[in-house]
Every structure is written in C-alpha cells, then in structure tokens.
Amino acid sequence: MYPFEFDMTTKAIFGEGAVARVGELAAGFGKKALLITYDEKFVKEVGFYQKVADSCKAAGVTLLSAFGVKSNPTVEHAAGVIALAKKEKPDVLIALGGGSAMDEAKFVGVAAGYDGDPWDFATGKTPITKTLPLIAVVTIPATSSELNGTSVMSYEKIQRKDGFLSPLMRPKFAVLDPELTYTIPLKQTAYSAADIVSHLLEAYIGHGLDWAPFQEHYCQGSIRTIMECMDRILANPRDKEARAQMMWTASYAWNGFYPCGLGPADATIHVLGHSLSNFYDTPHGAAMSVTIPATMRYFLNTKTKRLAGIAREVFAVREADDLAAAKAGIAAIVAWFKKIGTPTTLGEAGIPNEAIAKMAPDALKTAQAWGLGDLYSLETCVKMFELCK
C-alpha cells in the first residue's frame, strides 16, 4: 500500500427528517444563508425548497436563494450567484440537490472572496486559501460531493469542463435525508447508479498495486449493493430501504476513503466522460455508462485478472479462464446498464461517431490538467473513444 492521509472533516447527518435540521446547522454560522439549487419551479413543486426554507425560518436564519443550476453546472450561471454572494455576504452556503448543485456551491464559496477570474481556481492558477462554509443537502445521491472537496464546472465560453479540489471545499455538514430521494424519476436514479459505479471502478481499474484485497472487495461489494438497490427501486421506486442504502453507498464511493493506499489511478472513465458532457451536455451518469465499458475493453489484456474479479464477484461469472471471465464481465455490465436504462454507446447517448475528432484532444487536455499526461496521447484518446462506439 502507498502512504496516505485521510481526514473526514464533514459531519454526516443521516435519516428521514434530517432536512429539518438545516436551519439549526446554518444558525451555527450566522443569521444569513444563501441557498444554491436547481430550477425554481421544480424544487418548489417537489417540496425540497419549502422544507429548507421552513427550517431556516424556524432557526431565525434569513434565506437568500439562487436557482437555475444545470445538471452540468456552468461558470456562466455561477457568475450571477457569485455576484449575489459578494453583495449579500452570507454567513453560510446551502447546496440543495446532487453533485451539480454542490459543485457550483463550492465554486461560489471560493470565488466569493476573490476579485479575479474564478476559473483561476479550476486551472490551478490561484490556490484556494479560504471559502465560505457549506451545508450540502443531498436530493440526488451520486457523486459523493457532499463528503469530498472536489468541484467540477463547465466553462461554456471556452468549451471546457474541469475539476479541481481542495480539502477546504469539503462541506461542513452533509444532510442525508433519504425521504428527499423517494420521488427521483427512474431515469435520473439510473444515471445516479451509473455515476456511483464509475467512482468505484475508477480506482479499482486504475490503480497499480498487485494485491489490494480490502479496496477491491470494498469496490465489488459496493457495486453489488447498488445493483441490489436498483433491482428493488425498479420494482418499487419508493422503496425506502433501497433509497437509504443507495444514498449512503453513494457518499462513500468517492469521498477519499475507499482509494486510500491505492496510490495514483489513471482516471480513464472520467477523462473520457467529461468530454461527452462538455460538448453534448450529456448527464454525467449517462456519460459514465458509455465510458465504463470502453475503459474495461481498453484494459482487457493488461488488467485481465482485475476485470475477471469484477465478473466473478459482482456478476457471478463462473468462467475459469481470466480472459473469458473478463469478457463476460464486460458483457454483463453492459447488459445491466441497458436493464436500468442508461446508454452504453456514443450513439445511444445521441453523440455522433464523428465527434471523436473533437473529443479526443479535449480528453487529452483533461488528462494533462490532472497530471496524467504521461499515460495518454492523442492516439490513445482516439483509441479509447473508438471503444465507445
């Protein structure tokens, strides 16, 4: 195992009715909060907004609201929220939603005290030294953003999607109320499931250790958990236990805990997937269900044993030969994505094959920005995207 440091500074508050504590938590930082969330009509119709508003009112906290966060949050939208934060000077931010709302809130938090171009943080030009405190209220469990210090933003003006991270951006509190997830449509739930699986598989496939039983079994077991949850949710979308289990599994898929000791990973699934969202606004989970099988195919002959492990432990493949088992495992995960209703090819995601010509250079740029340039070339990226067809 590689040396590591792990510090989970976020306090998780889990359980039905936990959203009622948001006001109390916000009051611990001051008397004014800025809520960052999705379309106003949507969050009010489903009742999310009112639950937070009532809680803040009861705690004596003035609640300002910024609506309109997209599934792939943009710098352009965040600019207006940053301006509001600079003007109103809230004591705390509240992100209400999934990873997109949380990521934009993190971006706003670091930019609110900065006079330069906020994109400087995403490019690493300006180090993160301070941020507004954040309370993450999860309505779409998928990204682990409520328990990690990562933000992923799209800058439409320059057509780039990039991620940046800092332990300072970890939310102070993660409010995990399964009740808020009961009404998530099946398609969005499926995208979330694919996203969770992508975070688990990224380190599993990408690490370089010869033997990592704890981490690999953790990954395999977590994927099985998501699959079992989806079986129950497909049968009954309001299955409380399945929604609760999925929410907690999502939080621990990519919060820094599971990859501890694995060392650097090549992050192929996300290097490719970000380009789909960047150019075609593909929902993140939908992009992942396209790039996961492609990544597995790319590493079929170099990480055969590890892929065979997924096949046997997750999909009950009983092939004795590792290569045959690995191939069967890839077919099985594609079949599972089709079963839950997520795309598995560029075409199924509505992306023409010709798009590879512009996505490959973009993916290479992402790899280089993440310090993975030695592992990728333009030819490599093209070859990987060809496996998405």
pTM: 0.95
Q: How far apart are CA 376 and CA 362, in angstroms?
A: 12
Nearest to 295 by CA among 281, 313, 276: 276
pLDDT, tens only, 178-208: 999 999 999 999 999 999 999 999 999 999 9
Query: What is the arithmetic mean of pLDDT over 67-72?
Result: 95
Tokens of 324: 């045959």
Query: What is the arithmetic mean of pLDDT over 297-308?
Result: 97
Tokens of 287: 């992009």
Three-state SS string across 27-58, please? HCCCCEEEEECCCHHHHHHCCHHHHHHHHHHH
Helix runs in the chain, H state only: 22-27, 40-45, 48-58, 75-88, 99-111, 119-123, 186-206, 213-235, 240-251, 268-280, 284-298, 304-315, 322-340, 356-369, 378-386
pLDDT, tens only, 214-230: 999 999 999 999 999 99
pLDDT, tens only, 304-346: 999 999 999 999 999 999 999 999 999 999 999 999 999 999 9
pLDDT at position 167 is 95
Q: How far apart are CA 213 and CA 220, in angstroms?
A: 10
- Examine the pLDDT at 8 and tell me if it is beyond 90: no
Domain ranges of the chain: 11-180, 186-386
Average pLDDT across the chain, whole number: 96
Q: How far apart are CA 375 and CA 266, in angstroms?
A: 7
Hey, what CATH topology would domain 11-180 get? Rossmann fold (3.40.50)
CB atoms within 10 A of CB 280: 18
CATH pick for 186-386 out of 3.30.470.20, 1.20.1090.10, 1.10.8.60, 1.10.10.10? 1.20.1090.10
Nearest to 131 by CA among 140, 142, 121: 121
pLDDT at position 373 is 85
pLDDT at position 265 is 87
pLDDT, tens only, 47-58: 999 999 999 999
Query: What is the arithmetic mean of pLDDT over 129-155?
Result: 97
Q: Is 115 exposed, middle or buried (0-12, 13-18, 19+ CB in 10 A)?
A: exposed
Residue for token pair 């949380």 = 102
Nearest to 306 by CA among 195, 222, 206: 206
Helix (H) or strand (E) holding 8: none
